[in-house]
A and B are shown apart, each in its own frame.
Chain A
Amino acid sequence: MFKKLQSLLLAFLLFISACSLETKTDEPVLSEVYVMNEGSFGNSNASVSSYDPVSGNVASGIFESVNGRVLGDVLNSFSLIDGKLFLVVNNSNKIEVVDPESFTSIATIDIKNQKSPRHIVKAGEGKAYVTNLYGNNVSIIDLNTYTETGVIPVGQNPEGIAVVGSRAFVANSGFGSGNTVSVIETSANQVIRTVEVGDNPVGVKVDRLGRVWVVCVGAYNDFSTPDDDTPGQIYLLDGGSGDVLQGLTVGGHPGRLALNPLNDKAYLLNGGVMEIDMTNLSVTNEMLIEGGWYSVDVDPESEQPSLWLTDPKNYNQNGEVVRYDFEGNELSRFSAGLIPGGLYFHSR
């Protein structure tokens, strides 16, 4: 009986594997990794590099070479919306919309009144939201006309933003003094709730369960006195109600966060790479990978999912991108541009 069961189980597993393999071959293959190089503030040297993971070749300055003009000052973030890449150029107060295949420019969205845009996210059909660091609001972007049609006041110095269903979650950093997340009902373009979280909320991500992860950097208070700093924290919010589900004090002053749905691990930059179990919100490895990394990304949909870290070096010379497996072993590395701050994995 036991042997029969074993045989059945084996046959089932083989079937599943065959299905998986078959599915795998149909999946798009990672063809390019676009590196979003922030550039240094005030120097208009933001750029995008393209890395071919097969050949290892790197092409730099692809926006300029394709479109014949400078990208702008500080490429703060990007987002793929309706198959187009939206590049948020912070100190140029604009968003460049490009075709991810060719990188040709589709549109340029001007953010009025120098509000210093930080992040963009799709917020319903034909609409996107942009957080404005100096505007203390969120711009509403019409994705049909590529224009700013209005603003929604939120808290002080908003940074990260994410959308779950019809709710947008905005981290109000207050330049270190904030501790709230504004919840916007996207159908009404109105803040319906303000949730208290840890000090200095900056990053917002959504996991596969629809939970909102808020990275709270912690307050510096008097910069000259490290003793009065408050520790970094992760807050988990319910994507529907906005209720705080759980909190985790991670210490230090964390930076970027990447979520890996394949192993339910989160990777947080906090003086190195910290590994967090997403199922029970606990730190499983305080220092998975050492280093002064600037950004962390996971490519769950590629053939060999891995951790991609960017090293800005001293912010005045070209940085590097280093690829690791989830055990923390280095796989490969390549040169990027000035202050590489995020990766977009383009598959064909």
Chain B
Amino acid sequence: MNSALATAQVATSDTLVTDEVTVTSTRIHRSSELQPVYRTKIDSVQIASRRGEMLGSLLWSLPGVHVRSNGPGAASILSHRGLGGSRVSIEWEGIPLNHSMLGVADLSIVSNESVGAVDFSSGSGSSYSGSGIGSVISLSSPDDVKGLTLNEHVNTMGNTAVTFSGGVAGQSWKAFVLAGYRKDDNRFRYYDEAGDQVSKRKHAAGTGSQLMTVVQGRRGNAGLKSSFWWNKADHEVPENIYAGPGSAHQYDESFRWSNRMVLRRPGRTVRTSVHLSSVRLDYFNSRAGINSLSTSRSIGSDFSVSHSLKNMTELTYGASMDYILVTTSNFPEDKYRLSSSVFVNAAWEPLEGLSIYPSVSWNYFSEFENSVTYSAGMNYVLLPDDLFIRINYSGDYRVPTFNDLYWPDGGNALLEPEEAKRLEAGLAYMKAGKIPIRTSLSMFYTDLDKGIKWLPDEGGRFKAGNIQQLISRGVEWTGSTELSAGLWKIHLNNTITYNRVFIDEQRFKGDSSTGNQLPYEPLMSWSGSFRFSRGDWFAGVSSQFAGDRYATEEGANGPVVDSYIVTDLTAGTAFDIGDFRMLLSGRAGNIFDERYSAIRYYPMPLRNFSLNISINYKP
């Protein structure tokens, strides 16, 4: 198997046989089972099987995650444990993808080709990860492709994506470049529930281009990784199917440059990073005569030193600093934010098998009062190498977005950061051997205070306020296993989430939403996949389920978006033609023609098909 892509498709799932030592979604430099919170990664097999699609298609398999997609080509926002998109931190090579004005990261403009690995942590607290109350999703650039690879993806929605990548490696360095272009018509069949008929969706066409370069080097005990990513998207903004066809366009253009360095010395490791980014959004609605233009530029740095002490103790301390400048046609003047934090955390093992993880950070923000955040975690090995128990408690915060603070009509410069107390406890069972089993059970409770919500004042004008008290609690279970017999390999993966999230206190007189499940947050969700391979042939089936969701704060008394279960089939093979390694794969999406939507009246596609061809040449 010469092609890394082909290798990924037929290879053994890498979450089962190896575990990343490099932790990017937390600052606790230990393997997943020893963390105080739930942590996992999306492996290269899953990423490869979703080539040609956008990031939301990858992340729905994570426990507690619900992707709110407005349909192919339209905005797609991720919510974790019911806390909404702005409270989940999504970053690429350490650079936040959450937009500084909007708070959320739009998954519909990031293609899966841009991603080499996904590292997911349910969040060990703001004292580790800075502003954020939910989980941390850390994306790495793809960097393991050797030779030259041309990848072409087409589907029955009229979408095509072409990616060209190449990588070279020396003994102590490697370089990788990726260039991609996509043109999406996003015309698909959907079920019109009100008209009780199948119709064809349009008005979500778009194009996208990207260029990525990654250079890594090692000299002695020092390592450097420099990643550059330019990404551009131009797409129509569709309205719901019972509104007009829509006349809005959005142009997104961004570049991000991350430089990370690690220096290892006996007994200590120094990590530094510097990043630059610029994100430009241009929303244009010809009908309404609205042109909203904004550019968000940031520079950030992070420095930490980890000392290995006696009793398996690791002490880490450091500082980080970020500066964001927002220039927009919506604000009368430029706005900036300077933030920094000084942190210290430890991984202390007072007894064999028992790890304690205390952490504290002091945080400065130019717009707010200084704050101190903390976290206390524990992990105990109940059965050596097999059974682990973990618990974590943290006091977290999330700063308001620039729009929350400065939007001319309703922004509130007096807003304070949201605050949350979070408790998570869980068990993990990891059985190595011929039939490896990995399963975990997590229980979580989050009490969010000073939640930011836009509500109308007496004159009916919406204004941002720290007025929302939220409770999110629930249980997540994940399980996976793998069977091997000769050339056959079978892999199973399952995730089940129960999540009750609701407003805890009345926000205004007559507020009837207290106690209701929040809109668009399913009480139950499930995802599962079954993959098998034999030699160069592979096939798989994956499904996702989301329970009923409510479209308004009325809960069950208001409109309900029906539950759905969507099943996809994938199959393919890899073969050689001379010096070329070919990978041919096909996908039948939504094979049972499920009529569903994540957001009411923004239907998702009925049965659809896609084809992926990858040609790898390795001199």
A residues in contact (CB < 8 Å) with B: 40, 42-45, 64, 68-70, 72-73, 91-93, 114-116, 134, 220, 222-224, 252-253, 255, 271-272, 291-292, 294, 311-318, 320, 338
For the complex formed, measure the closest distance between the CB of B510 and the CB atoms of chain A, giving whole angstroms: 6
- Write the chain A residue with the least CB distance to B453: A314
**CA–CA, A64 to B195, complex, Å?**
11
CB-CB contacts below 8 Å: B526-547 with A: none
Cβ B456 vs Cβ A314 within 8 A: yes
Contact with A along B401-412 (1 / 0, CB 8 A): 000001011110
Pick from B288, B332, B559: contact of A45, CB under 8 Å:
B559
Cβ B458 vs Cβ A291 within 8 A: yes
- Whether A223 touches B288, Cβ cut-off 8 Å, given contacts A44-B242, A316-B552, is no
Q: Which residues of A contact B288 (CB under 8 A)?
A: 116, 134
Q: Which residues of A contact B507 (CB under 8 A)?
A: 314
**CA–CA, A128 to B460, complex, Å?**
30
Q: Which residues of B contact A320 (CB under 8 A)?
A: 510
Cβ B242 vs Cβ A312 within 8 A: no
Q: B351 near A: Cβ within 8 Å?
A: no
User: Which residue among B196, B460, B559 has the maximum number of chain A CB atoms within 10 Å of its CB?
Assistant: B460
Q: B601 near A: Cβ within 8 Å?
A: yes
Kindly specify which of B43-51, B144-152, B511-519, B562-570 makes contact with the partner chain: B511-519
Cβ A43 vs Cβ B245 within 8 A: no
Q: B322 near A: Cβ within 8 Å?
A: no
**CA–CA, A72 to B196, complex, Å?**
15
Cβ A134 vs Cβ B600 within 8 A: no
- Whether A72 touches B243, Cβ cut-off 8 Å, given contacts A272-B458, A311-B510, is yes
Pick from A44, A224, A252, A312: contact of B601, CB under 8 Å:
A44
Cβ A69 vs Cβ B551 within 8 A: no
Cβ B243 vs Cβ A44 within 8 A: yes
For the complex formed, measure the closest distance between the CB of B334 and the CB atoms of chain A, giving whole angstroms: 14
> Please, could you name 20 A-B residue pairs with CB atoms under 8 Å apart, sorted by A?
A42-B239, A43-B240, A44-B243, A44-B601, A45-B600, A70-B194, A91-B239, A92-B242, A116-B287, A220-B409, A253-B459, A272-B458, A292-B460, A316-B513, A316-B553, A317-B552, A317-B554, A317-B558, A318-B512, A338-B552
- Write the chain B residue with the least CB distance to A44: B242
- Whether A42 touches B243, Cβ cut-off 8 Å, given contacts A272-B458, A317-B512, is yes
**CA–CA, A255 to B459, complex, Å?**
8
Cβ A224 vs Cβ B332 within 8 A: yes
Q: B371 near A: Cβ within 8 Å?
A: no
Cβ B242 vs Cβ A72 within 8 A: yes
- Write the chain B residue with the least CB distance to A111: B244
Cβ A292 vs Cβ B247 within 8 A: no
Q: Sorted from nearest, which 7 A-B pairs have the closest CB atoms? A: A223-B408, A44-B242, A73-B243, A70-B194, A292-B458, A223-B409, A317-B553
- Write the chain B residue with the least CB distance to A176: B409
Q: B352 near A: Cβ within 8 Å?
A: no
Cβ A134 vs Cβ B512 within 8 A: no
- Whether A114 touches B601, Cβ cut-off 8 Å, given contacts A134-B287, A271-B458, is no
Cβ B244 vs Cβ A91 within 8 A: yes
Pick from B240, B459, B519: contact of A44, CB under 8 Å:
B240
**CA–CA, A91 to B244, complex, Å?**
6
Cβ A313 vs Cβ B459 within 8 A: no
Cβ A294 vs Cβ B519 within 8 A: no
Q: Which residues of B contact A115 (CB under 8 A)?
A: 287
Cβ A313 vs Cβ B510 within 8 A: yes
Cβ A91 vs Cβ B459 within 8 A: no
Pick from A91, A252, A314: contact of B553, CB under 8 Å:
A314
For the complex formed, measure the closest distance between the CB of B327 and the CB atoms of chain A, giving whole angstroms: 16
**CA–CA, A68 to B511, complex, Å?**
31
Q: Which residues of B contact A253 (CB under 8 A)?
A: 459, 461
- Write the chain B residue with the least CB distance to A45: B559
Pick from A73, A116, A317: contact of B242, CB under 8 Å:
A73
**CA–CA, A82 to B508, complex, Å?**
42
**CA–CA, A312 to B519, complex, Å?**
17
**CA–CA, A220 to B332, complex, Å?**
14
Pick from B195, B409, B557, B558: contact of A69, CB under 8 Å:
B195
- Whether A73 touches B240, Cβ cut-off 8 Å, given contacts A252-B459, A312-B456, is yes
Cβ B287 vs Cβ A292 within 8 A: no
**CA–CA, A72 to B508, complex, Å?**
29
Q: Which residues of A contact B513 (CB under 8 A)?
A: 314, 316-317
**CA–CA, A255 to B332, complex, Å?**
26
Cβ B289 vs Cβ A292 within 8 A: no
- Whether A43 touches B459, Cβ cut-off 8 Å, given contacts A70-B242, A73-B239, A314-B553, is no
CB-CB contacts below 8 Å: B282-323 with A: 287-289
- Write the chain B residue with the least CB distance to A290: B458
Cβ A114 vs Cβ B244 within 8 A: yes
**CA–CA, A115 to B244, complex, Å?**
10
Contact with A along B452-486 (1 / 0, CB 8 A): 00011111111000000000000000000000000
User: Which residue among A115, A222, A315 has the maximum number of chain B CB atoms within 10 Å of its CB?
Assistant: A315
Q: Which residues of A contact B462 (CB under 8 A)?
A: 315
Q: Which residues of B contact A222 (CB under 8 A)?
A: 332, 408
Q: Which residues of A contact B101 (CB under 8 A)?
A: none
Apart from A43-B600, A272-B458: 8 A-B pairs, beta carbons within 8 A: A44-B243, A44-B600, A134-B287, A223-B409, A271-B458, A271-B459, A314-B455, A317-B558
Q: B241 near A: Cβ within 8 Å?
A: yes
Pick from B239, B247, B512: contact of A313, CB under 8 Å:
B512
**CA–CA, A91 to B238, complex, Å?**
13
User: Which residue among B456, B507, B511 has the maximum number of chain A CB atoms within 10 Å of its CB?
Assistant: B456
Pick from A73, A114, A314: contact of B247, CB under 8 Å:
A114
For the complex formed, measure the closest distance between the CB of A186 and the CB atoms of chain B, giving whole angstroms: 27
Q: Which residues of B contact A91 (CB under 8 A)?
A: 239, 243-244
Q: Which residues of A contact B455 (CB under 8 A)?
A: 314
Q: Which residues of A contact B461 (CB under 8 A)?
A: 253
Cβ A93 vs Cβ B244 within 8 A: yes
- Whether A314 touches B508, Cβ cut-off 8 Å, given contacts A45-B559, A69-B194, A338-B552, is yes
**CA–CA, A317 to B455, complex, Å?**
11
**CA–CA, A43 to B519, complex, Å?**
13
